[in-house]
Amino acid sequence: MQKIVLITATEESNILHHLSNNLGTLALEAYLSANTDIKTYVVDTVAEAIDLRPDMVGISSVTETYRIAIDMAGEIKKQLVIPVIIGGQHITGCVESLDRVFDAAVIGEGEETFLELVRKFPKLDDIAGIAYFGRSGLVVNKRRPAIADIDSLPLINWKKLVVKLGIPAVMTTRGCMYKCSFCSSPIQWGGCRQYSAARVGAEIKSIVDAFHPRMIKFFDDIFTLNKKRLKNIVDIIVNEGWNEKIVFMCMSRVGHFDKEVARLLQKGNIRFVFFGVESMSKSVLGGLKDRPSTLKDIQEAVDIAYDAGIKTSCSFIIGAPGETESDILKTIKFIEKNEKKVFDIEVNPIIPNPGTPIWDYAKKRKLVSNDMDWAKIKHHSLFLSFDPSDYIYLNKKMPFDKFAKYADVFKDLFRRINLDPGKQRYSLEYFGPRDIPAKLKGSARDF
């Protein structure tokens, strides 16, 4: 019987990489287990992977951990003569960066492609959705069509695989209907497909039965995209009584949030909502967002959420190409105006995610390349640790030293809003140090 090990490349020092388990590798394990008799393990460390003596290893990686993934593959191959496969957001967006340490890359959605790869390896030429090195160099096969009926995919085996949930997450949608210039989601998923409300309910139930969490996060780009489906999901939450035991959080978009949506979130105890505001400059928004909301609509969404008692998190992007001092001051003014209405803020210096229009812009200016130091493309959600001196700055309209000065202004706002003692006490009611880091059962349990 074959044995497969799946592992996620993580940066040990970045706490964000340990807050939750990778839904991608967990979903891949569920698919392999449901469709084959292959023993599949999901582990945290290379040492665990090697100890299991597998026939194949799959590594999942984002861009900032791609160098780590390469090193992991090299370490595995020093000990075992087996194929190592790379997948995830980075290699999908920049297949040209495929390192020869990998025997193949899975591009985009992984379930069907990886299963076919497991069955056919080393015959690779007719497998859709992969890349590999042939005799004449890099070969990129045709892209595999997206799975049409995602409800047919098996549920994640939470109880079997996970010791500690971290932040329990449920993805109820694959992809996004928008194509924003900075976002890699459309590249990874190729479109937008939603699970049915019944399937979402089954996913929640599997987590609740196994772990009885205090909080669950809906991990979609826009959870409120379909109002009818949202109502059906909320009805399931209420009928199961989960709204009385669990606090939910979700991500939304201003154009898909109104008073009716707010009432539905209230009913389902979806108490936290995240908006990607990005900027309060119309011109900057036009360069970042696909079909951006108006500035008036952004303010109305924040007001509606506040009046409904929903805790609002707003994210902002700074350093975008073309952003002027006037633009950035408009964003600062908005934050200061709504300081009492938003629960917290997220500040993200823009990064060139491979495959996006922002990546193409940065590449044209020779600020990035297919063989660069990938650790430089780092997300800075933990904004207080942001170091401008180690950042790929894209904006020609504002001198770098002025940008660095405004980054400090945003840090002061971040501290003032996010580190409020009352807010921290409120958050600890639902999630705290005892919940992290997320932990897999891995090789400790032979299933």
Q: pTM for this one? A: 0.94
Among 371, 406, 366, residue whose Cα is nearest residue 386 = 406
Same fold, 3-147 and 164-433: no
Please, are residues 217 and 249 in contact by the beta-carbon 8 Å criterion?
A: yes
| Residue 195: alpha-carbon gap to chain centroid | 17
Q: Exposed (0-12), middle (13-18) or buried (19+): which is 115, by Cβ within 10 Å?
A: middle
pLDDT tens track for 105-164: 999 999 999 999 999 999 999 999 999 999 999 999 999 999 999 999 999 999 888 887
pLDDT tens track for 170-224: 999 999 999 999 999 999 998 899 999 999 999 999 999 999 999 999 999 999 9
DSSP state of 146: P
Residues 1-40 as b or e (16 or more Cβ within 10 Å = b):
eeebbbbbbbbeebeebbbbbbebbbbbbbbbbeeeebbb
Please, are residues 216 and 207 in contact by the beta-carbon 8 Å criterion?
A: yes
Hey, where are the domains in the chain? 3-147, 164-433
The amino acid at 261 = V
Q: Is domain 3-147 given the CATH code 3.40.50.2300 in the classification? A: yes
Which fold would CATH assign to domain 164-433? Answer: pyruvate-formate lyase- activating enzyme (3.80.30)
Please, are residues 349 and 319 in contact by the beta-carbon 8 Å criterion?
A: yes
pLDDT tens track for 365-374: 999 999 999 9
Mean pLDDT by 10 residues, the chain (447 residues): 91 72 94 95 95 97 96 98 98 98 97 97 97 97 96 93 84 96 93 96 95 93 97 98 97 97 98 98 97 97 98 97 98 98 96 97 97 90 86 96 97 96 88 76 50
